[in-house]
Amino acid sequence: MQFSDNTNNTGIVQQVRSMMRVDATQWPTYQVVNSVNNYLDTITGYAIGADRRFQFDDSNHTKLPIGTTDLTATQSDYSFLTDEQGNSILNLLRIDILDDNGDWRKMTPIDEADINIALDEFEENNGDPIYYDKIADNIIRLYPTPDTTVSAGLKFYFQRTPSYFAATDTTKEPGVSPLLHRGFVVNAAYDGAMTLGLQNLQALASERQEEYGKMTQAFDNRNTDETAVMSPPYVNAE
C-alpha cells in the first residue's frame, strides 16, 4: 500500500481520512506522517524483540545493516551510533575483526560482570583484540587494546531505525509485509480520532487492537523453516 495516491484514493493518507471521515484541512498530511512513523517505531521495536534468530530490517533501506570502521592502535573504545546513511543504530548483533592474515574472525562478547579481576588488569597488555564489552548503548570496549592500526579492521552487524516517511512521499510503501499495511491506516486514523474527539474513536480502538494482534502474530516464531532445538554454540576448531 503506497503512502499517497490522489488518483485512486487508495493510499494510506487517503484511507486514513476516509476512515476518520475528515478532509485534508481537518487532518493534514503531516499529521498522518507523524502517526505512520510512530507505528513504524512500534513495529520495529516489537520485531527486534520478538525473534533473535530472524533479524528484522526495514526493506526500504538501500544498504545492508553491516558497517566497518578502522581499528586504531591503543584505542580501546569504539562507538556505533549511526549507519552510513544516518539511521540510528538500535542494537549491535556481532563484531568481527580482521586479523593479520586478512581473515575475518568473530569476536567474543563479554560483560564486565563476568570479569572477576580488576578491569584494568584484564587483558592489560596491548595485542590482538579477542573480546568486546558493550559498555553503553552501542559503545564497545575491546580486550586487549589493539596494538596495530587496520583500515576497516572492525566489521559490525546491527539493527536500526526504520525508513521513515516524509509528507512529500507518494509511491513509497511501508518496509514491512504488505499484510501489515492496513495497520498503518487504522493506527493513524485512531490517532486522528483521539486528537479531534471523533465519535468513531471506540470503533477504531477495536480495529487497532485487531491490527496489533496481526502484527504480533506475524513476527512471533517466523522461522518456519527451522526446528527449535537446544544446541551448543558453534566453535571453529582452527
Name beta bridge partners: 143: 131
pLDDT > 90 fraction of the chain, expressed in percent and rounded:
86
Sheet of 66-71, strand order: 66-71, 150-160, 89-98, 104-106
Are the beta carbons of 80 and 89 closer than 8 angstroms?
Answer: yes
Rounded to the nearest 10°, the torsion over CA 175, 178, 182, 188 is 0
Identify the weakest region by mean pLDDT among 6-15, 121-130, 165-174, 214-223: 214-223
Q: What is the pLDDT of residue 235?
A: 44
Average pLDDT, the chain: 92
Q: What angle do CA 226, 229, 230 make, to 5 degrees?
A: 140
Give me the long-range contacts of 14-17 (CB less than 8 A, separation at least 24): 15/185, 15/189, 16/185, 16/188, 16/189, 16/192
Name beta bridge partners: 110: 133
Q: Could you tell me whether strands 131-136 and 108-110 are parallel, antiparallel, or unpaired per DSSP bridges? A: parallel
For 35: left if phi > 0, alpha if psi spans -120 to 50, otherwise beta; the answer is: alpha
Confidence of residue 234 (pLDDT cuts 50, 70, 90): very low
Q: What is the pLDDT of residue 229?
A: 57
pLDDT > 70 fraction of the chain, expressed in percent and rounded:
92
The C-alpha atoms of residue 168 and residue 171 are separated, in whole angstroms, by 10
Q: Over range 169-195, report the average pLDDT.
A: 97
Are the beta carbons of 83 and 67 closer than 8 angstroms?
Answer: yes
Q: Over range 179-188, report the average pLDDT.
A: 98
CB proximity list for 198: less than 8 A, separation 6 or greater = 20, 21, 22, 192
Model confidence at 10: pLDDT above 50: yes
Model confidence at 238: pLDDT above 80: no
Q: What is the pLDDT of residue 232?
A: 54
pLDDT 10s digits, 107-142: 999 999 999 999 999 999 999 999 999 998 889 999
The C-alpha atoms of residue 184 and residue 174 are separated, in whole angstroms, by 8
pLDDT 10s digits, 57-104: 999 999 999 999 999 999 999 999 999 999 999 999 999 999 988 999
User: Residue written as cell 499495511?
Assistant: 181
The C-alpha atoms of residue 144 and residue 119 are separated, in whole angstroms, by 11
Identify the weakest region by mean pLDDT among 32-46, 130-144, 146-160, 222-236: 222-236
Model confidence at 230: pLDDT above 80: no
Q: What is the pLDDT of residue 224?
A: 61
Q: What is the pLDDT of residue 77?
A: 97
Model confidence at 236: pLDDT above 60: no
Q: Which three cell numbers stand for residue 27?
A: 487532518
